[in-house]
Amino acid sequence: METILAKTLGQENLSAAAEERRQLFSRLLGRLAHEIRNPLSSLDIHVQLLEEDLGDLAPQAKVKLAARVDVIRGELHRLDAIVEQFLRLADPSAPNVTAVDLAKVIGHVCDVLRPEAANRKIELIPHLSGRLPLVEADSDQLIQATLNLVINALQAVDHCGRIELRACRAKGGVDLEVQDTGTGIAAEHLEAIFEPYFTTKVEGNGLGLWIAQQIVAAHGGTIRAANVPGGGAVFRIHLPMRQRNSAHG
């Protein structure tokens, strides 16, 4: 059922039954997101209070605990972003479309994840070839999709390695690639990884790639995964260009 939904979601010619299922699924997602949001904001407030309480502590204890609180806050923000994403998926009328510079998307994602990459001794390398045409897209959604890919890459590399983010002109549009030096993807999983809830991780939720795919599909694009011959995986998002954009660029 979920597999069927995942495959039909985002495609243009939905059958009536599939459309009905999609709407039901959207409502469930929206409901779930709202339910999660309340305890999340309560957690956020308490983290803020904790930070204030830290002021009373001795310097040594303060440093140690402040680092922990930082991690908690970072994760809370990530959860909040996921919930936000679900709310948007649940209400597809919400996308905020502007002319987006993929270089900025890549820059932002690198800024957000560089501390985590540095902790793991993983190089995060952006490659931006020439002047890229702007794409008409929801910038936050593209950032979310790219974050999901790079987070997976960090987890696949785990420790010591390289993640390269590339944006370049491609036939009919723009390509955004995330390539890593990690474990690569088992051949028998290549089809399944985009299905909702498919995960090979003990603590995975199996939603990252599915969400990325939904976002890309909503932009009329495609997302593909492959293994790199020397080891590691590469994910390529292709976004189509509007005619009038490709004429300038």
Q: Given candidates 182, 208, 221, 240, which one binds Mg ion under the rule CB under 5 A?
A: 208
To ligand ADP, the closest distance from the beta carbon of 3 in angstroms equals 14
Q: Does 152 bind Mg ion (CB under 5 A)?
A: yes
Instruction: Say if CB 211 and CB 143 are below 8 A apart.
Output: no
For residues 242, 102, 153 and 74, what is the CA-based torsion angle, rounded to 10 degrees? -120
Q: Which range touches ligand ADP (CB under 6 A), out of 19-27, 92-100, 180-188, 239-247?
A: 180-188
Burial call 192-221: b when 16+ CB within 10 Å, e when fewer: ebbbbebbeeeeeebbbbbbbbbbbebbbb
Instruction: Say if CB 30 and CB 91 are below 8 A apart.
Output: yes
Measured distance CA(93)–CA(206) in Å, rounded: 25
Measured distance CA(189)–CA(199) in Å, rounded: 10
- Containing 103, the helix (H) or strand (E) segment is helix 102-119
Between residues 208 and 240, which has the closer beta carbon with respect to Mg ion?
Answer: 208
Q: Does 26 bind ligand ADP (CB under 6 A)?
A: no
Residue nearest to Mg ion (CB): 208
Ranges within 132-161 binding ligand ADP (CB under 6 A): 148, 152-153, 156
Q: Given candidates 10, 173, 182, 221, which one binds ligand ADP under the rule CB under 6 A?
A: 182
Q: Does 25 bind ligand ADP (CB under 6 A)?
A: no
Residue nearest to ligand ADP (CB): 208
Measured distance CA(168)–CA(129) in Å, rounded: 6
Q: Does 177 bind ligand ADP (CB under 6 A)?
A: no
Q: Does 85 bind Mg ion (CB under 5 A)?
A: no
By a kind-dependent CB cut-off of 5 to 8 A, residue 14 interacts, out of Mg ion, ligand ADP, none, with: none
Measured distance CA(123)–CA(137) in Å, rounded: 28
Q: What angle do CA 171, 113, 137 make, to 5 degrees?
A: 35
Q: Which range touches ligand ADP (CB under 6 A), out of 10-18, 112-120, 139-147, 191-199?
A: 191-199
Q: Could you list the residues that contact ligand ADP (CB under 6 A)?
A: 148, 152-153, 156, 180, 182-185, 189, 193, 198-201, 204-210, 233
